Amino acid sequence: MTKDAFQPFEPNIGIIGLGYVGLPLAVEFGKQLPTTGFDINEQRVAELQGGRDSTLEVSQQELASASKLDFTSDAAELGRCNVFIVTVPTPIDQHQRPDLRPLQQASRLIGSVIKPGAIAIFESTVYPGCTEEACIPIIEEVSGLQFNRDFYAGYSPERINPGDKQHSVSNIIKVTSGSTPEVADFIDALYRKIVTAGTHKASSIMVAEAAKVIENTQRDVNIALINELALIFDRLNLDTLEVLEAAGSKWNFLPFRPGLVGGHCIGVDPYYLTYKTLEIGYHPEVILAGRRINDNMGFFVAERIVKLMASRRINIVDARILIMGLTFKENCPDLRNTRVVDIVSELERYHAAVSVFDPWVDQQQALDQHDIQLIPEPQTDSYDAIVICVAHDQFKQMTAEQIRQFGKANHILFDAKHVLAKDDVDGRL
């Protein structure tokens, strides 16, 4: 393949995908450079044009501050752009295999509007090699242009943490890469316009892809170790948090906690890496073992709840159980891959009547995504069991006595997120 010299230009940016990753990025670029935010969801585009972000990642004031940012669902409007940044979801299917359809659709879209000299940058989490193996060929086919001669590519993995107001696009170090050294320099300089924390320029697109996918794989494995310890300590009648706090008195002990591992990153990204490793003939053991442990923690929590109820002679059949929190993490409305649903489904298998309360979640979204009808407010003196599943600020501001008011005279209170003190609950993870 002949690589022609890249000619730098004044960026006109198109962000494809306006979710938790794409919108904050579009806002930051839109403060300085002409930026078009594109999404196929017309309702999403309409709300952003009206100055509202339903994900609660960007405030109305922040949206207004991006004076050079426009939103559209019309692909033709991307034709004015010369830098395309892809921030679409990269989920897994029911068999834990990468679902590249959103990424492929975005690549076809770019191929239909890209012009010679332009750059396509991917931020979506993928396996090493995916950008050049799965995305670039689609752009070439649709556009008729040749990679690294007529157009170029880069990869700069997203590091957005939904609900985290301390770590934003601008103050998290950004990994960058490009398909030629000149393109890599251009992309790095582009991101340095908005990332005050600085950048780390990787030597290749594959290095940047691999760096991203192991960030969350490392966290997944670490949490899996602590979750397995929680399973062991439960059998030893030890309180896991007490043990971790004691061990944490050593300066280099890592402060991980047991819990449900969901969301669009930690619970998904390792499967992208294992997919690629199996393709090259290596069977990963530690990574998949960690995934199995973490994927089963919801069922362990449900089992603990049932045993606690039995110890109080509370019949699980037709018992009323209150689940507090449905999102995959605290203080955000994101329901993607939430493992709270495992607790709900397992308790329902015992024929319990489960009510779910989450003040952060849109009721229709919970119904559409998980077939769960949220309750507007818990009722007092009504529940045989109360389970704190997500550490929303609204729940952390409540005392144990206030939460127990939802329970019947004889009930159990289980805390899966260590919101309350040990002595204030009947059980905790």
- Within 13 A of 358's CA, how many CA atoms are on the CB side? 33
Report the helix count and the strand count for the chain, using DSSP H and E: 16, 13
Residue 205's Cα: distance from chain center in Å? 22
**pLDDT tens digits for 320-358?**
999 999 999 999 999 989 999 999 999 999 999 999 999
Contact 399, 372 (CB under 8 A): no
Token output for 42: 């017309």
Query: Do you know the residue count of the chain?
Result: 429
Find residue 414's DSSP bridge partners: 387, 427
Q: What is the pLDDT of residue 168?
A: 83
Alpha-carbon torsion (175, 178, 180, 181), positive or negative: negative
- Within 13 A of 313's CA, how many CA atoms are on the CB side? 1
Q: What is the pLDDT of residue 166?
A: 79
User: Would you tell me how many other CB atoms lie within 10 Å of the CB of residue 115?
Assistant: 13
Give the C-alpha separation, 396 to 258, whole Å.
18
- Catalytic center residues: 265
Give the C-alpha separation, 109 to 101, whole Å.
12
Q: What is the pLDDT of residue 267?
A: 87
- pTM exceeding 0.95: no
Hey, is 364 helix, strand or coil? helix
Amino acid 368 reads: D
Q: What is the pLDDT of residue 1?
A: 44
Contact 121, 155 (CB under 8 A): yes
Q: Which of 179, 184, 186, 187 is nearest to 147 (CA)?
A: 179
**pLDDT tens digits for 383-420?**
999 999 999 999 999 999 999 999 999 999 999 999 99
- Average pLDDT, consecutive stretches of 10 residues, N- to C-terminus, the chain (429 residues): 75 96 96 97 96 91 95 96 96 91 97 97 96 97 97 94 80 96 98 96 98 94 97 96 96 94 88 94 96 96 97 97 96 92 97 97 94 96 97 97 97 96 95
Residues in CB range of 21: below 8 A, 6 or more apart: 87, 123, 124, 158, 160
Give the C-alpha separation, 17 to 91, whole Å.
14
Q: What is the pLDDT of residue 19?
A: 93
**pLDDT tens digits for 229-276?**
999 999 999 999 999 999 999 999 999 999 999 887 888 999 999 999
Alpha-carbon torsion (247, 250, 252, 256), positive or negative: positive
Give the C-alpha separation, 192 to 196, whole Å.
7
Q: Which of 6, 11, 208 is nearest to 117 (CA)?
A: 6
Token output for 206: 């594959």
Give the C-alpha separation, 224 to 252, whole Å.
19
Token output for 22: 């794409």
